Amino acid sequence: MFKQHLRRKLKRSVCAILLAAFLPHAHVHAAESGSAGSDFRLPTLGGDGELTLQDLRGKVVYLDFWASWCGPCRKSLPLYESLYQEIGSQQFAIVAINLDETREDAVRFLKQHPVSYTILLDPVGSTAADWQIRVMPTSFLLDRSGMIVREYAGFEPAHIEDIRHDIDTLLDQ
Amino acid sequence: MTSIHCSISKPCRPLVVLLLAALLAACAPVQPWERGRLAQPVMALDGNPMLSAMDEHVYSSKEASSGGVGPAGGGCGCN
């Protein structure tokens, strides 16, 4: 009888512990398709000023979160550069937020993989936290009003055609 | 009748449960953008695979036998 009572109590305790352990991780994914992208103000890599998401209103924006240590970024950045060269900057912008701890790491990487689009620096990762990045790299496609149209978690070179198609669809709207 | 003695007094039990829960919650995950250091080659389980392969080759040549390093496998033994 006492044993059963103890077992029931133990079961309840284990359930409580498990629930408490998982509670801190339970959150709503804020950066979802159809929601407005969280605004940011970040310095450019060149040190010539700051950029906010508001500044990009009116353009279709491809927002990329990357770091020099991220393997797939070695493939994605050159492909994004080709995409940027093809589409042009009149109605479209690629903004890549670098999440390296030091600026030097980003500069070293970009010497090997140069790009002409805007690179912003976020060594603390506050923007990545706001946008709730789950994997590296992660990108977002935003429409002209700053609404998130699609999230791309991870990168494979085969994804570029899909991304291109999504951008073209938005540019035609 | 079997009796089980519990040294934690009854009023203290919820406190113990809460304490354990708090300890579990302290296990903070490393965020995806914070894995720069973990991605460094020195953090790999085998930091220099080429050097390890050479070491293993020298070892097996000197010992006139292969294996005993890592998990069991086949191998032609042609050193």
Question: Strand, helix or coil at B27?
Answer: coil
Q: Which two tokens stand for residue B32?
A: 């995806």
Q: Please state, in angstroms and rounded to a whole number, the distance separating the CA atoms of residues B66 and B55.
A: 12
pLDDT for A42: 97
CB pairs under 8 A between A and B: 57
Per the CB < 8 A criterion, the answer to whether A62 and A167 are in contact is: yes
Per the CB < 8 A criterion, the answer to whether B43 and A43 are in contact is: no
Taking the CA of residue B14 and the nearest CA in chain A, the distance in Å comes to 8
Average pLDDT of chain B to the nearest whole number: 74
Average pLDDT over residues A28-38: 70
> Which tops the pLDDT comparison, A94 or B47?
A94
pLDDT for B11: 77
Question: Which residue in chain A is spatially nearest to B23 when comparing CA positions?
Answer: A21
Taking an 8 Å Cβ-Cβ cutoff, which residues of chain A contact chain B? Answer: 2-3, 6, 9, 13, 16-17, 20-21, 23-25, 65, 67-71, 99-101, 105, 125, 128-129, 133-136, 138
pLDDT for B3: 52
pLDDT for A87: 95
Instruction: Give the CB-side neighbour count of residue A28, counting CA atoms within 13 A.
Output: 4
Percent of chain B with pLDDT over 90: 0
Q: Please state, in angstroms and rounded to a whole number, the distance separating the CA atoms of residues B41 and A3.
A: 53
Position A22 pLDDT exceeds 70 = no
Among A72-81, A86-95, B22-31, which is the least confidently predicted range? B22-31
Confidence of residue A64 (pLDDT cuts 50, 70, 90): very high
Question: Which residue in chain A is spatially nearest to B35 when comparing CA positions?
Answer: A69
Position A19 pLDDT exceeds 70 = no
The contacts of residue A106 (CB under 8 Å, 6+ apart) are A45, A68, A98, A100, A119, A121
Taking the CA of residue A58 and the nearest CA in chain B, the distance in Å comes to 29
Position B79 pLDDT exceeds 80 = no
> Which tops the pLDDT comparison, B54 or B66?
B54
> Which tops the pLDDT comparison, A154 or B1?
A154
Closest CB to B4 among A3, A24, A65: A3
CB contact under 8 A, A125 and B21: no
Closest CB to B21 among A16, A69, A100: A16
CB contact under 8 A, B39 and A70: yes
Confidence of residue A26 (pLDDT cuts 50, 70, 90): very low
Question: Which residue in chain B is spatially nearest to A22 when comparing CA positions?
Answer: B25
Torsion of CA A126, A127, A133, A139, to 10 degrees: -160
